[in-house]
Each structure stands twice: as structure tokens, then as C-alpha cells.
Amino acid sequence: MAQAWRKRTAAFLEELKHLGKRPSHKEVDRLMSLRLREWQRTPKAAGQVMQDLKRMKRADLVCQLLDVWERGSGQAKPEPLHYATAISACAAAKWWHKAIAIFHSLPDASIEPSVISYNATISACEKGRQWHLGLQLFDAMPKANMVPDIISYSSAISCCEKGSQWNFALGLFNSIRSSKLSPDDIVYNATISSCDKGGRWQLALDVFHSMATNALSPDVISFNATISACKRAGEWQLALQLFNGISEATLSPTVVSYSAAISSCEVQGLWQMAIFLFNSMQEATLAPDVISCSSLLSSCEKGGRWQLALHMFNSMPTMKLTPDNITYNAAITSCEKGAQWQAALNLFRSMPAAQLVPNLIGYNTTISSCEKGGEWTLALEIFRSLQGSRIPPDVISYNATISACEKCSHWAAALELFTCITRARLEPNVVSYRAVLGSSTLRSCSVAVQASVLAMIKMHGVPAEDPR
């Protein structure tokens, strides 16, 4: 009997496949309606179909099957497990709206929500980055006489991680300890990652080291999250120690491990170490990704090795990698630091061809490159294009352009830009005043303008000589 419905289930899935990737709702509805009576007689068969569709990442068909079953005539209706499967399929597809809708429809189907359905819905909220909704559901469990299990806690902590709510994550983590539950590696990893996202590297390290008290050995995900936390805080030595600890724990570093370790080298400009790690990754037959390449570029940039940074950037196509905004920014910055304004400008201008829109960092760094190269017209041109984009210039944009104009004795343009800072509802800073303080700018102004600028400078406590 069981073998017979399994064969029919497999045949039904084949029929669905023949409909193509995007079958019409009507076609699927017709096929499912033909099988409805069998599913009503054998709910396990319907459950198997839903599980198979979930594995095929067809949340749309899972939801449609549930809908057909709910609308069908007959006594047998979907069971709690079928609803939980549908919610779980929606979670995998990041359809948090649909997952919550199914969850809230349970009472209408005369079904009491279970811990499983709560967990699946919280997970859907986490994957949809709706951390506040996930925590609301978690908090509602005791009121519904539900006792959260370890999966409930790990899903809720993951919600906190996605929402950068490290304090809530830590509170949940500590409440597990006070309950009869024992945190598993998933809970530990989610908590460490939450601390990482919240910039709490010491707490991340404490949680990492506390795994031993629960007789748990850190896995590579635990190491990666803790390395990331230390790297983010500039604790490069600790980050590299932890990276070495992966092999000592007889684990294999992943691309994420290498990328985080390479990124930690940025802080001190340890470009040689970064290159060593990058080469080691390739020797370990791990294919570098865009993140590891961008991290290596930044390390070379911080170490003043613009030639190496450009070489790495130009080598990316041979690795079948497409540079993103971060990669371009790192390459442009390395050129700016190396006084290579032409290379910086070429990189900046090649971004549209790569289907990338420069961000504020890209604009500012390119303007600064032109300023250092004495190319005030190009600096002004890029600044004007920034103004014409959807990105509002910041004080750094103005300062770099003012400095470019001032250095080339174009005092009128420099002064005009300076006066535009406040009109743009920005606050001039010390760099702004120093940029406009150049002799070619201020000494060319009228006495009244000089007095006005000097008064503002004095108000901000910037030491300056009276140009008069």
C-alpha cells in the first residue's frame, strides 16, 4: 500500500515537472485537484509531496497544494504537520509574509499552533530580516502555553543577529542557561554572530570560550564568527590567532575563514601576511571569492602597495570573479594613496560598463585622487556629476573639491563651494576651513568676505593667521 502511493507521488511530481518552471495556477490547480481524494485518504502521501516540493525549493507549489486541500470538499483536511511544512518552505524562500499568513490561518482551520509551527514562523521572520516580528512570536509562546525548545531559542537568537540586536541575543542566550535546556552549537554560533554584528568582540570571545563549559567543541562557523568580531574591532592579532586555531582544532578553514583573516590584515597594512593567506587559500584548493579579493586589495592599499592592488584587481577576471563596489573602491583608494590619479579616474569611469553605480566612497576617493594630482577641473567635474546623481555630497566631497580648486589658485570656485556647504545643510569642519584658508583663496577675497570666513573659523576653534 505504502509503496503504491509513493509511486503515485513520484508520478505526480514528474507531471508537475513537465509543466515547466512557471506553470499557470490553473494547470497546477487541475493536477492537484485530481489527486485530492487520495491525499484526503492518505494524508501521509500529501505530506511526502509537500516535503519533496520543499526540497525542490518550490514554496509556491507547496502553498498551492495547501490551498487546494483547504478548499476541497471532504472530511480530511490538512494536518498540523502539513501547515508546518508549508511555513518551513516559505521560510526557505524568504516569504515571511506568506509564512505569517499561514500561521495566523491555523485557528480558522481549527488547528492549535504547535512549537513546530512557531519555530518555522520565527525562522521565516529571521530569514526575511523581520527580527521584531520573530521576537514577538517567541514572546507569545508562553502565553499560548507553549514551552520554547532549543530550536525556538536558536531561531529567536538568529532573528536578533539579523537585526543587530546583540543585547537581546545575549539575554536569550543567558535565559537558556537558567532553563533546563542546554545550548547547542547553533545557539552559540548565532550568539557569537550577534555580538560580532553589534561590535561586541569581547562578548563574542567570551561566548566562544564558554563553549567548553557545555562540553561543546567550536566548529568552523564558531571560529569564523569570532574571527569576524575581532577583525571588525581591529584586534588583528587575536583574529589571526583564532584563524590558526582552526587547524589546531583539526578543522579545515573555509573561504569565509580566509577572507576574515585577510581582512584583519587591513588594520595594520599587513600586505605580506594578506598575500601569504591568499596564496595558502589557493594551495588548499579553495577558490577565492570577491570578498577575499577585496580584502587583499584593501590590505595592499593600507600597506601602500598600489601596484599589487591593481594587479590583483586586474587578475580577478582570470579567477572568474566580477569586482563589486567594494572591490572598485579598494582599487581606487590604492591609486589615490599612490598618487595615481589617471588610474583612479579610469577605474571610476569603467564602473558603468561593469553595470555598477559608484557610491559616495567611490566619488570621494576619485575626487581626492584628482586633487592630489592637481587636476581641479576633473575634481570639479566628478563633484558636479555627484550632485547630479541620487547621492548627496557630504562634507568630505566638498572638502576634497575645495582643496583641488584652492591648490590650483581657483579661489572663486573654492569659495563658492565653501559657501554651498551650509546651503546643503552640512556643517563645515576643520578640514573645510583649512582647505579654504589657502592664501590664493582667502587673500583674493574682499575684506568683508575675509572677515566673515575668519569669524566662522574662530567660532570653530581653528587656528589661522589673518591673511590681511
**DSSP string covering 321-344, please?**
----HHHHHHHHHHHHHTT-HHHH
Please give the Cα distance from 317 to 328 (Å, whole number). Answer: 13
pLDDT digits (tens), the chain, 468 positions: 456 656 666 767 777 666 666 767 777 777 777 666 666 677 777 778 788 888 888 888 888 878 877 776 555 678 888 899 999 999 999 999 999 999 999 988 888 889 999 999 999 999 999 999 999 999 999 999 999 999 999 999 999 999 889 999 999 999 997 888 889 999 999 999 999 999 999 999 999 999 988 889 999 999 999 999 999 999 999 999 999 999 999 999 999 999 999 999 988 889 999 999 999 999 999 999 999 999 999 999 999 999 999 999 999 999 999 999 999 999 999 999 999 999 999 999 999 999 999 999 999 999 999 999 999 999 999 999 999 999 999 999 989 998 888 777 777 777 778 878 877 788 777 676 666 666 455 555 556 555 666 666 666 555 554 444
- Distances 186 to 124, 151, 154 between C-alpha atoms, Å: 17, 9, 6
Burial class (CB in 10 A: 0-12, 13-18, 19+), 149: middle
User: What cell does 358 get?
Assistant: 559608484
User: What cell does 2 get?
Assistant: 505504502
Please give the Cα distance from 295 to 290 (Å, whole number). Answer: 9
Pair 184, 216: CB distance under 8 Å: yes
Q: What is the reported pLDDT for 6?
A: 66
Please give the Cα distance from 24 to 182 (Å, whole number). Answer: 47
Pair 277, 261: CB distance under 8 Å: yes
Pair 275, 269: CB distance under 8 Å: no
Q: What is the reported pLDDT for 366?
A: 97
E strand intervals along 125-262:
none
Which is nearest to 356 in space by CA: 381, 332, 387? 332
What's domain 358-468's architecture?
Alpha Horseshoe (1.25)
Q: What type of residue sits at position 71?
A: R
Pair 259, 295: CB distance under 8 Å: yes
Residue 186, φ and ψ in degrees, nearest 5: -65, -40
User: Would you tell me how many other CB atoms lie within 10 Å of the CB of residue 175?
Assistant: 13
Please give the Cα distance from 65 to 34 (Å, whole number). Answer: 12
Classified as helix, coil or strand, 388 is coil
User: What cell does 457 get?
Assistant: 573659523
End-to-end CA distance of the chain: 102
Which residues lie below 8 Å from residue 412, measured CB to CB, with a gap of 6+?
444
Q: What is the reported pLDDT for 467?
A: 42
Domain ranges of the chain: 358-468
